[in-house]
Each structure stands twice: as structure tokens, then as C-alpha cells.
Amino acid sequence: MGKNRMGIVRISKGGISVCCLKGILVGVAVLSLTCGEKQEESPHSERYSVTKITKPLRKIPIRVGDISITAEVCDTPQSRRQGLMSRAYLPENEGMLFVFDTEGHHSFWMKNTSIPLSIAFIGRKGEIVQIEDMQPQDSTLHTSAYPVLYALEMNQGWFRKNGIEVGDKITFNLQLR
């Protein structure tokens, strides 16, 4: 192995030479960091490059008011970032429950989401504190007006159609597997 003035290291074995430039590791690291999709940042949202989730999300039964539904659980940063992006369909009486690590003013947007949705922001004790409709492919932020620990996305109009309002309770057991 030898090194010349240009910082090139030559490693020879069996007649094959491999040349490595100084800083190649730094270059590869920088390149890998910049290959993801650039997304705008907001102080209230989890916006990072989205990596498609490979394993299916677990589903749990949820009671919304007097109605039983099934919801996929997004309880990791990766699953919360992915949400319903790139899906074409959400079955009736099924939704997506977002579970946050800390109570706060959490935000959602509809980038790369083609399904019109309604979202219920839910406090620590399971009470709906806010419901909003969200339009497909829209980058508008929908931020909870009050600190919440959960959010439930359903097909747009589902809450209104089922008489679910602010103040109604949602019950579920996150321990179900």
C-alpha cells in the first residue's frame, strides 16, 4: 500500500488496484444525506424524507362515541411521517390512529395523500378536542389548537356523517397486538 502527493491510496492484491481519494467517506455520507426528498420544515410538524414502511401496521379496535371501527396504529416517527401517503383507498369504518410520544400541538398535511380525510385531534383522556377536513395533495398545515396525544384520520365527512362531535370520547387499548 502506498500514498502519493495527491492523497490517493493504492491497495494492490492479485493485480487489482483500488484507488481511494481522501474524504471519500465524507463525500458518500453527504451524498446519502442529500438523496432524500427535500421537504419544507415547520416547527409543528414531523417532516422528513419519507421511507415507505415495509411491514404492515398493527390494527386495533376503537370505539368512537357509539361506533366501532378498526384503525392502523402509527406510533413511531417513521409510521407517523408516512401516514396515508401514497394510498388510493381507505375502507369505510377504518382509519389511522396517530399516537405521539408527548402531548403537544401536533400538525398534519396532505402532501402525497390522495384520499380526502377528516382528522380528529384527541386529548390525553380520549376526548375529541377538534375536528378538521383536509384536502388531497394540500400542503396546508392542520395544527391542533389544544395539546393532544392522539389524532384519528378517517374518510372525509365520516365524523359528521356519524354524528361524532368535539367533546365525544374515543376508547381503545394500545396493548392489543
Share of the chain above pLDDT 70, in %: 68
Domain shared by 72 and 119, yes or no: yes
Domain-embedded: residue 13: yes
Domain shared by 64 and 133, yes or no: yes
Could you report the per-residue pLDDT of 168-177, keeping only the tens digit for each? Answer: 999 999 875 4
Domain-embedded: residue 53: no
Checking if the pLDDT of 134 tops 60, the result is: yes
Domain shared by 9 and 72, yes or no: no
Q: Which long-range contacts (CB under 8 A, 24 or more apart) does 159-162 make?
A: 159/64, 159/118, 159/120, 159/131, 160/118, 162/64, 162/65, 162/67
Least confident span in 10-19, 24-33, 54-63, 94-103: 24-33
Domain-embedded: residue 8: yes
Helix, strand, or coil (residue 159)? helix
Checking if the pLDDT of 15 tops 80, the result is: no
Least confident span in 52-56, 106-110, 161-165: 52-56
Domain shared by 168 and 88, yes or no: yes
Checking if the pLDDT of 41 tops 90, the result is: no
Q: What is the pLDDT of residue 148?
A: 98
Domain shared by 65 and 152, yes or no: yes
Domain shared by 24 and 92, yes or no: no
Q: What is the pLDDT of residue 56?
A: 84
Domain shared by 28 and 64, yes or no: no
Chain-centroid distance, C-alpha 43: 15
Domain-embedded: residue 44: no
Task: For residue 23, give its domain range.
Answer: 2-34
Domain-embedded: residue 158: yes
